[in-house]
Structure 1
Amino acid sequence: MITVLLVDDHPVVRDGLRGMLNSEPDITVVGEAGSGLEAVAMARALRPDVILMDLRMPGMDGADATGLILGESRASRVVVVTTYETDSDILRAVEAGASGYLLKDATRTELTNAVRAASRGETVLAPSVAGRLVRQVRNPVTQTLSAREVQVLGLVAKGQTNAEIGRTLHISEATVKTHLLRTFNKLDVSDRTAAVTTAMERGLLP
């Protein structure tokens, strides 16, 4: 029997997951947690085979909780189940030691298969997530954006022209262009729209 701990700050999500998993003959939910801190305590007490971990929760998030849990014991396997699939979210979870990353639109079959695979020590990734990780490995961000570059790009995202950005930040239009060119180079893109989209995907912009 595969034992599972559910971690999500939304009770209705936990209810749905518990219903799906407990209907399987070889899987049983042994506990539920509504926060990262609670998850750490329950994982320590229950030692479940698999932990289904939400990523964004108030207080301690899922990536930090995963790091703490697996830092104490590698007996459990953590599979992130979240609505978020930005590069920064994925990388933080994987770097923390998560064995899998699924999105909440996963089917019952995908979810139960992921639990079984994780319990065997296998890695489980949603196809879109796997693709993002491959792209990230092939094209890593070797430089982070400066605070000013993030400011400029944030105003681009709001639809401001270079001239408007210059007035907002009290800098010249030429300086705005320089910041944008440096940003394009760091993100390996060639235009404003691609820069904003890529920065959002990588968690560099909200």
Structure 2
Amino acid sequence: MNSVMVAVCSADALALPGVSSLLADRPAVTVVPRDKVGQADIAMVVTDEVDETTLDLVRWITRSSSARTLLVTDHLTRGDSAMLARCRVSGLLNRRAVTRERLSQAIDEALAGDWAPVLPVTELAEGSGGGDAFTAREKQLLRLLADGHDTAEIARLLAYSERTVKKIVHQMLTRLRLRNRAHAVAHAMRAGVL
């Protein structure tokens, strides 16, 4: 088997040792930092979400390397998916669902050219557990938000203080990196919670 060089491109300092650990049982794979991407066969972009910085990184990889790009992320929107396809991203993995076997398989598929350009957003959502991202309390609250109730009404209906309702909403938005209540309701609908 030929040697394969995988360049890990991430702002997360733990990504490089994490990927190295997952691929440790593959002696033909060498994991290297981002600055070696020009010599790599695979550029693995590891990120929580696809933001402008991530898109800039993927564009830079496309311009400066012939490496096949794999994206490992927790969150992807349909708009991100279209942009990544234009940047020739070879494959997508759900960061929470990555296993040693799946990562190794993804590298093999990308090298063989067997993967579709980018998996549909629904596949990423399925791998992340969809509705499991929300607690039972958050699901109750989201249903009331979707029905148009304000903070005071939700507090009364759930027998919580308004402060508790705001705290639940804030924690959910922060944990899931959602922008506002409407974004949370839309996210819950896509995950099949509502």
Q: TM-score range by the shorter chain?
A: 0.5 to 0.7
Which residue in the other structure is 2:155 paired with? none
**SS at the partner of 1:61?**
helix
Which residue in the other structure is 1:184 paired with? none
Distance 2:94 2:182 in 1: 24
1:65 matches 2:54: no
**SS at the partner of 1:6?**
strand
- Measure how far apart 1:194 and its partner are: 9.7
Distance 1:87 1:201 in 2: 15
Counterparts of residues 122-201 of structure 1 (less than 5 Å): 122-123=114-115, 129=121, 131=123, 197-198=185-186
| Structure 2 residue corresponding to 1:99, chosen from 90, 97, 102 | 90
Q: CA RMSD in A?
A: 4.0
Larger mean Cα displacement after TM superposition, 76-85 or 50-59: 50-59
> How many pairs were matched up?
140
- Give the direction of change, closer, same or farther, for the CA distance of 1:112–1:125 in structure 2 (3 Å limit): farther
1:108 matches 2:103: no
In the superposition, the TM-score normalised over structure 1's length comes to: 0.52
1:54 matches 2:46: yes
- Measure how far apart 1:10 and its partner are: 1.8
Counterparts of residues 9-24 of structure 1 (less than 5 Å): 9-24=11-26
Which residue in the other structure is 2:29 paired with? 27
Distance 1:200 1:125 in 2: 27
Q: Specify every segment of 5 or more residues in structure 2 that has no aligned partner in the other structure, as ranges.
A: 125-143, 151-180
Distance 1:60 1:196 in 2: 21
**In percent, how many aligned pairs have the same letter?**
20
Matched to 2:33, the amino acid is: E
In the superposition, the TM-score normalised over structure 2's length comes to: 0.55
Deviations 1:97-118 (A, max 9, x none): 2000101122211111101111
**SS at the partner of 1:71?**
helix
- Measure how far apart 1:95 and its partner are: 2.6
Which residue in the other structure is 1:37 paired with? none
Matched to 2:93, the amino acid is: L
